[in-house]
Chain A
Amino acid sequence: MELSESVLKGLQTLADPNVFDLKSFTTFTEVAFDSLDSSRGESVLGHPELRHIDQTTLKHCHTAATTFILEGVKQNADKSTISSCLEDVRFQNERVDTFYNSFQKNLESLLSSTDTCPPHITDAEWRLEYCYKGTFHVHKVNQPSYLISLNTERAGASSEINFSCTMDQLQDLVGKMKDAAKSLERATQS
């Protein structure tokens, strides 16, 4: 896992027992993970345990720690990678363990919510329509068509997609969906 120099410097300061003793380190770890999890605002670093540390250093370490956490979650790093990265910046073993234990919290939801996805289809309704033109005209158009309404849902909000199609178009649509399913199965096998 590659880290930039400022992140490494911040982590080194974090590992230094003169700046962060064990108690403030534990508090800091909790605070850092919390600040990523929910929006707490400016008071996130105002914990009484952390007041005795120079605020600029604290903010630098906070930036470095949050960047490191996000990079680790992004690359889905396992314990050995994270431990080796932290040991490279001279973290003591118990601090490595404390830090890694907080990693078990599920930050994946935070990263996976950064996503654009089309709405999911949850339900479908259809009606049959028959178009009939009377015998007075030369051409008789006796043609069925389908009125289809798909209920979609996206982020809890549901909406509808309505369209009409002839039988050929509907067969074409179903055929394409089957092709998509087949190619998905093929992808699982390769």
Chain B
Amino acid sequence: MMEEVDRILIHSLREAGTDIDEDVQSVKQFTSELIVEAVVKCLRVIDPALGNGLSHSLPPGMSARFRLGMSLAQACQDVGFKGEIGYQTFLYSNEPEIRSLFMFLVEKLPRESAEASDQPAGKSALLQRAIAAQIKEQSSVPWLPPSCRLPIHRKTQSSGPCYSFHAQPLSLPYSVKVSSRKQPKDVQEYWRNYLLPVTAQPSQHASVPASLLENHISELSATQEWESEWNSQGLLSRLTPEEYRSRKKARLQKRIEEQLRAAAQPRPDTHGATRSTSDLAELLQSFGGASTGGDVLTKGTRFTHTEKFTFTQEPEKAAQQMAAAASALPSSHQSEEDLKAQQEAELSALQQQLQQLSVQMEEVGGDIKQLTVSIQQVSDELQQKEVSNGEKENSIKMKRQTIDLLPDTENNLLKLQGLVEASSKRVVHLASQWEKHRVPLIDEHRRLKELCSNRESESSRKLSEIKDLHDKIRQSAEEAKKKESLYKQLLTEFETLSKDVSRSAYTMRILEIVGNIKKQKEEITKILSDTKDLQKEINSLTGKLDRTFAVTDELVFKDAKKDESVRKSYKYLAALHENCTQLIQTIEDTGTIMREIRDLEEQIDTENGKRTVSNLEKILEDYKAIRQENSALAAKIREG
């Protein structure tokens, strides 16, 4: 297990900048120089102020080495190392101390990777990061003046042609509302033969992307709006989509019409606006006319009527005049003024005619109106007279019948009474029959009403269920999208992470170690329980032994006073007991001694690992070297 730890330590030390040879696999193989270099490099990373004052190579002189060792120890203690440390740790190292020192230093090394991995997800954060990456990339390329630019700089440094975002409406070879089979033939033919492809339709090629994108987005948003409206209001109204749409259209048209009418009302303070308001009124009439279906053409305004009349007369007049002019033309070589005068005379004559005709028409129109009014009156009178005629005839009939019945009064009276009674009885009978019919029909009516209301409640419940399902669908779609984008983002992050030390090896190792520890714990518990059992057995056996001995002792002693052989057996018993106790004692002592042996062996191993002997030899040598240096320095001082 120590190899794993050493491998991780060596790797981290290499990352901190120490130059460790390839064949150094464990901390045991570290020489003093390597130790000093590693410690100094780590300190430089952890705390640059502290580490920069120390050199990372062991100086040759002994006193210098001693000083370096002291300063290193001090620095490590400043950084926070709690164990025992001094110059001896570096110059006369032993494995466990070095290992713990390195583990402490490697822990202290700052972790750069931790910051980069906790980055928030989310679309805006992603966008920010993409923007930052682009800016970084672009600013890392040095700026060149225009004459020196290569084509790769063209994208980032010189600005190409710029067009503003100008979207033009496109004419599409399909309709969103009507299926293509129901389009009239002319439209289909236009689409097939004359419609330009969409990329050729905008006036500038640069507007093509803008127009296409705008068109697409408007279609998308229209469908989205329709869906949200349908899911919220449309389903509640329980109509089919077409009915809902047509109702909405009619509602909107009515509102527009009302607004326009209100705006077009001639206000009392404006005088000169009559012309525009009458036009607006005609426009509104045409709105209303469209819904009642095609009366527009039959109505027509006064202008068209006058037009019709004048132009029906005109062709005949024109023909006549043309004939007259044609006949007049070849015979006249008159001058221009005469021609003009002639034309003006003709013009005035025609205008007079026009005026006469219009006056005539007005008179005739007035006459027609009067006559229609009188016709109406007369037909009304006729109807009234017919009605009163009918009534009078009825009364005459009845009077005649009564007169016929008069001669035979009594019989007729009786007969009449009988008739009256019979008819009243019939009425009662009919009423009862009606009652009989009415009751089941009313029950049926009530039953159907209940059924209807049940169905309504069912359908509203189902509607709410559908709404819930829609919401759930939307939510899960959003979650799925979010998770997909998160997955993609994490995938890209994972690819950019460094792969030199594999995490999976670490985690497997950790899991193995945890498993081992668990097994060991189980074994320890087993051993402990075994030990407890054994101890219990020993205790019970000792107890039994003591009791047995006490009983036997008493028994034999009682008899020993009388019999000689019993006294001998008593002595043997006592001796046996004593020997066995000694035996047991010896065994226990052996066990203790074996434990002590094991402990001592462990201590020997650790002490051997400390390389104390070699260290002592080195210390002796260094001591000798220091003494020599001291004497040399003293000699130098004495000389000069």
Contact = CB atoms under 8 A, between A and B. Distances in A.
Interface stretch (A51-59, A90-98, A138-146): A51-59
A56 B188 contact: yes
Contact of B219 (A4, A44, A112, A119): A4
A70 B206 contact: no
B215 A67 contact: yes
Contact of A38 (B131, B192, B205, B220): B205
The residue in B159, B161, B164 that gathers the most chain A C-beta atoms within 10 A of its C-beta is: B159
Contact of B197 (A42, A113, A116, A120): A42
Interface string A1-23: 01111110000000000000000
A113 B173 contact: no
Interface in A28-58: 35-36, 38-42, 44-45, 54-56
A117 interface: yes
Interface in B202-219: 205-206, 208-210, 212-213, 215-216, 219
Interface in A132-172: 153-156
A190 B125 CA distance: 10
Contacts of B192: 54-56
B158 A153 contact: yes
B188 A67 contact: no
Contacts of B213: 67, 70-71, 74
Interface string B175-204: 010001000000010011101111110000
A120 B199 contact: no
B491 to A, nearest CB: 10
B616 interface: no
A81 to B, nearest CB: 9
B166 to A, nearest CB: 9
Contacts of A128: none
A60 B199 contact: no
Contact of A66 (B162, B191, B195, B199): B199
A81 B454 CA distance: 49
Given A42-B197, A56-B192, A111 B209 contact: yes
A70 B131 CA distance: 21
A125 interface: no
A5 B180 contact: no
A44 B216 contact: no
Nearest to B128: A190
Contacts of B173: 56, 59-60, 63
B199 A123 contact: no
Nearest to B131: A187
Interface residues of B, number: 47
A2 B222 CA distance: 13
Contacts of A189: 132
Contact of B199 (A36, A116, A119): A36
Contact of B205 (A6, A39, A59): A39
Contacts of A2: 220
A111 B160 CA distance: 12
Contacts of B135: 184, 187-188
B145 interface: yes
B197 A45 contact: yes
A109 B160 CA distance: 9
Closest 7 CB pairs of A and B: A39-B205, A4-B219, A59-B173, A35-B199, A188-B136, A56-B191, A4-B220
24 contacts: A6-B176, A6-B219, A35-B200, A36-B209, A39-B199, A44-B199, A56-B174, A56-B188, A56-B192, A59-B191, A60-B173, A63-B173, A63-B212, A70-B213, A109-B155, A112-B155, A113-B161, A119-B159, A120-B159, A153-B146, A154-B159, A156-B161, A188-B132, A190-B132
Interface of A: 2-7, 35-36, 38-42, 44-45, 54-56, 59-60, 62-63, 66-67, 70-71, 74, 109-117, 119-120, 122-123, 153-156, 184-185, 187-190
Given A155-B160, A190-B132, 19 more contacts: A4-B216, A6-B174, A6-B219, A39-B205, A44-B200, A45-B197, A54-B192, A56-B188, A56-B192, A59-B173, A66-B199, A67-B215, A74-B213, A114-B163, A116-B164, A120-B158, A156-B161, A184-B139, A185-B139
Interface of B: 128, 131-133, 135-136, 139, 145-146, 155, 157-165, 170, 172-174, 176, 180, 188, 191-193, 195-200, 205-206, 208-210, 212-213, 215-216, 219-220, 223
